[in-house]
């Protein structure tokens, strides 16, 4: 089986993951699994599920090392899983790490680890630029961050479904889903009204 893995840092309203999915299918992926999660997040739920599901001899394809992770440590852990499970990892147009014999050749290991270092470096540079930009905006007297919200800003759909949640007939995940909100947003609204 050839799996594709795609990832974007934010949700589908802010980033379009379909380009990655199309390119992975064009590269031969039979099924594409994707996450909306930060690159250095310790848990990428669907990537974890994919690694659990993949069987000996399967291939996992992705477009860039940074789609898997932006952490060198996490990538080394992922490569270890690929080696133990005897999988093949293909970074389209770049690196192939073939561990179907239970081994990884030293050159492939070095190249994939170097790619992870550069991916982690890129994330650090981006974060430093954002912090610098925010400090610059503050120095100019501009308000930085999301505007504060009040109970009046909570959408009506949340208030519509809140009684069902309060009665114990719905959990946080279900409330988030029916309101088309993220779980952190639901927690924030609950804290405001309780």
Model confidence pLDDT, tens digit, residues 68-112: 988 889 898 999 999 999 999 999 988 899 999 988 988 888 888
Indicate the residue among 70, 104, 121 that finishes a domain: 121
pLDDT score at 43: 80
Pairing of strands 2-8, 31-36: parallel
174-183 confidence digits (pLDDT tens): 998 999 988 8
* pLDDT at residue 12 tops 70: no
Q: Is the pLDDT of residue 29 over 80?
A: yes
**pTM exceeds cut of 0.85:** no
Residue 129 lies in a domain: no
Q: What distance in Å separates the CA atoms of residue 177 and residue 156, rounded to the nearest whole number?
A: 15
Annotate 50-65 with DSSP letters as a single string: HHHH--TT-EEEES-H
Any domain includes 44 = yes
102 and 168 belong to one structural domain: no
Same domain, 108 and 176: no
92 and 187 housed in the same domain: no
- Report pLDDT digits (tens) over 107-130: 888 888 888 899 889 989 999 999
- Is 139 inside a domain boundary? no
Same domain, 106 and 179: no
Where residue 53 sits, what CATH number does that domain have?
3.40.50.1390
Domain assignment of residue 72, given as a range: 2-121
Q: Is residue 39 part of a domain?
A: yes
The residue among 101, 121, 141 that closes a domain is: 121
> Does the pLDDT value for residue 13 go beyond 90?
no
Predicted confidence band at 28 (pLDDT cuts at 50, 70, 90)?
Answer: very high
Question: What is the predicted pLDDT for the residue at 79?
Answer: 93
**Of the residues 105, 121, 137, which one is the last residue of a structural domain?**
121
**Tally of domains in the chain:** 2
Q: Is residue 126 part of a domain?
A: no
Same domain (yes/no): 98, 167: no
CA 178 to chain centre: 22
In a domain, 71, yes or no: yes
Read off φ and ψ for residue 19, nearest 5 degrees: -60, -45
């Amino acid at each position: 089986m050839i799996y594709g893995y795609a990832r974007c840092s934010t949700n589908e309203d802010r980033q379009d993951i379909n380009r990655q999915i199309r390119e992975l299918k064009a590269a031969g992926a039979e099924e594409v699994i994707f996450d909306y999660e930060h690159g250095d997040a310790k848990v990428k739920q669907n990537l974890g599920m994919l690694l659990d599901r993949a069987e000996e001899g399967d291939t996992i394809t992705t477009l860039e090392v940074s789609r898997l992770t932006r952490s060198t440590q996490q990538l080394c852990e992922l490569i270890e899983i690929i080696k133990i499970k005897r999988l093949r990892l293909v970074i389209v147009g770049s690196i192939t790490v073939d561990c179907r014999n239970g081994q990884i050749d030293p050159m492939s290991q070095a190249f994939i680890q170097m790619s992870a270092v550069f991916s982690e470096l890129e994330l650090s540079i981006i974060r430093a630029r954002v912090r610098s930009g925010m400090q610059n905006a503050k120095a100019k007297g501009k308000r930085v961050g999301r505007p504060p919200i009040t109970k009046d800003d909570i959408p009506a759909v949340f208030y519509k479904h809140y009684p069902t949640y309060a009665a114990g007939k719905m959990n946080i995940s279900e409330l988030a889903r029916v309101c088309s909100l993220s779980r952190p947003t639901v927690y924030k609204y609950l804290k405001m009204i309780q």
